Structure 1
């Protein structure tokens, strides 16, 4: 295990300590520090940028050739950190504690150390890791008086209001799809360094805002959470396959949710975000697509088509078919018979 001590707090100066420890030169372009790893250390890069109002961001996108432990040990109040693991996994602990927090892909944690205690992050050898650390100097991140008074009324006071770090704080969960989209935007941005700096300021505030929304959602019971987490996206897509492969069955939203392990609310939110529609509307779209194919390409009568697509009412089928195609099922079939 190679141990590196970081004695700097602003995220951009962290790069200077890492560059010295690894004996690697760094680049500075319009407030963004860039450390490209050499073959001796591993591969990939570490980037850092101070933004506004005490906000900064570090991105670790690398794979080390050795086990690495980075100890943030500055004898000062450490920033509030929002850690997001978008690939691989890493360990976190407070410097005055032994308990390790193993953060896996799609997981995030809000961490604040007590007093002048720091943070320790461990990366395993040969582990490809992508970690974003949004960091906030709570003393510099001032709010207007009226906003501060509103903050005191909420559960956010324990996080943002503890300017002098009188208590430690740890909250872990899975980050939302909305947060994942910001990370994808950061990866995709290819413009000039000046525009990147402006863009990153925007991303910093987006991450903070979306994180607050998610944290408040995390405080709800599982069945009452509505914010879609990134790891749940695959479950929504699995639900689509369940619908398509079993369209002849009469599924309720709860049936589908139980099949893939999502609550009704999460399933609805997933379809809203990914497909811009409700679960029932999506089911009807699949049914109508299949019905139109059966009417064109088979000799099934209308009642048989209704059964094949999982409906029991011929009149209801005719109603939704007319709404979608501006003609009855019989007129639709006759139109294609004339064409052929």
Structure 2
């Protein structure tokens, strides 16, 4: 096991110290710092970007060849960290104890440790880990106008107002595929540089943060996942979303999805309702509409061809549900896009 001591809570200083351990390349571009490595320690990339009011993002996509114990020894006021793992797992402990808490895939986690306490992350070997940390420096964030901290529940209000770092906080909440989907969109933000990229990342980041805060609120109000939905069920539903995307031109029925996943139709409906706030049919229809918008914008396919490509039964029905969703007909939407693009030339 390799042990690395971190003596700063600032993201860029953390990256500099990690770089020495993994012997990677650290570069900066448009306010983002990216550390990439492919060495005897493992391979992968870490990215950090800071925003106003003490909000920053760290995301990691790494596979290690040996366990790494990351120990934070700092007298800085610890940030509040909103953690979400899209793939893999790692362990967490406070005060250098042998008692670890496992942070799992798709689980919403919020932590903040005492000012004088050690924080330890134990990253496993031979396990691909994709994880996002949204970090909030509470002193800076409280200076933000209309920060609306008072609208949070009492636990989080006291945490944000703990300017001396006297309290420890750990929330291992419910599992969420909605947050996983939004993080995928965050990581897929295009290659635009400068202001466009920064605004896109910031917008996505705040949406994810709001979903994590909402999950915490629901968890505290005992609105978390019922016992009927297990982690294994969640993983099956997550796999189904890929199946739906790959078979979007088919007539996707609940019976088909039930057979593909091994989940009963009742459990399938319950899972989609909890994880996506939609029935199975609502989820499939929304995905078909989003794909159709992309076709209308980025392809030369006719509306009839698009209807066939997304597996809708008729052009008139497609126009009807498209209008209900977006308040514009498909043909008018494409015309609007063409007029908009021509005015920019």
TM-score (norm 1): 0.67
The aligned counterpart of 1:90 is 90
Secondary structure of residue in 1 paired with 2:99: coil
The aligned counterpart of 2:185 is 185
Q: Quick check: 1:12–1:32 contact (8 Å CA) kept in 2? A: no
The aligned counterpart of 1:19 is 19
Range that drifts further, 214-223 or 98-107: 214-223
Query: Residues 261, 50 of structure 1: CA spacing in aligned structure 2 closer, same or farther, 3 A cutoff?
Result: same
Q: Quick check: 2:174–2:224 contact (8 Å CA) kept in 1? A: no
**Bigger-Rg structure (1/2):** 1
Question: What is the aligned residue count?
Answer: 266
> Where in structure 2 are the equivalents of 1:86-235 lying within 5 Å?
86-142=86-142, 143-144=144-145, 147-151=148-152, 154-194=154-194, 195-222=196-223, 232=234, 234-235=236-237
Q: Quick check: 1:3–1:68 contact (8 Å CA) kept in 2? A: yes
Q: Quick check: 1:19–1:26 contact (8 Å CA) kept in 2? A: yes
How far 1:48 moved relative to its partner?
1.2
Tell whether 2:278 aligns with 1:270.
Answer: yes
How far 1:86 moved relative to its partner?
0.7
Secondary structure of residue in 2 paired with 1:139: helix
The aligned counterpart of 1:34 is 34
TM-score (norm 2): 0.67
Deviations 1:160-182 (A, max 9, x none): 23232221111102442332222
Secondary structure of residue in 1 paired with 2:76: coil
Mapped partners of 2:20, 2:272: distance in 1: 52
How far 1:264 moved relative to its partner?
9.8
Secondary structure of residue in 2 paired with 1:63: strand
The aligned counterpart of 1:328 is none
Q: Quick check: 2:80–2:138 contact (8 Å CA) kept in 1? A: yes
Q: Quick check: 1:91–1:102 contact (8 Å CA) kept in 2? A: yes
How far 1:232 moved relative to its partner?
3.4
Query: Residues 175, 134 of structure 1: CA spacing in aligned structure 2 closer, same or farther, 3 A cutoff?
Result: farther
Q: 5+ unaligned residues in a row in structure 1: which ranges? A: 248-254, 278-323, 325-340
The aligned counterpart of 2:327 is none
Secondary structure of residue in 2 paired with 1:186: helix
Secondary structure of residue in 2 paired with 1:232: helix
